[in-house]
Amino acid sequence: MNVLIVDDNRAMRMIVRRTLRQAGFRGLDVTEAENGREALARIQEKKPDLILSDWNMPEMDGLRLLRILRHNKVYIRFGFVTAQGSPAMRERARNAGANFLISKPFTPETFEEVLGNIMH
């Protein structure tokens, strides 16, 4: 399975990658991007099966990335991994076409619970 991790914080991209492994998701082909604009280029190159994106990023935030994908009828499974976990933000994510939202801080168990059906 190809996974794209989109976050402007390099350390957070590494944490998400490590948490995927700790949650038991092994053998993934993981690609990274620093923002939504860069993610669009990676999506063209790698055709990921799943996108894990931060919400707030420079140049293009995660919500804009998701809206562009859905507007262009690209239906890659998409979820936010973000500190923005309020009910209003969850509703905005769902209305834009997100499959899930994982709030920071998260655990391997959270990843297993949320991603289990998607990735197995």
Q: Mind listing the domains of the chain with CATH numbers? A: 2-119 (3.40.50.2300)
What is the per-residue pLDDT for 120? Answer: 64
C-alpha 91, offset from chain centre: 16
pTM above 0.75, yes or no: yes
With contact defined as beta carbons under 8 Å apart, do 78 and 53 qualify? yes
Task: Pick the closest to residue 48 from 102, 3, 93, 94 (CA basis).
Answer: 3
pLDDT score at 72: 96
Tokens of 25: 């998701």
| Average pLDDT per consecutive 10 residues, the chain (120 residues; last block may be shorter) | 97 97 94 98 95 96 97 96 90 96 95 87
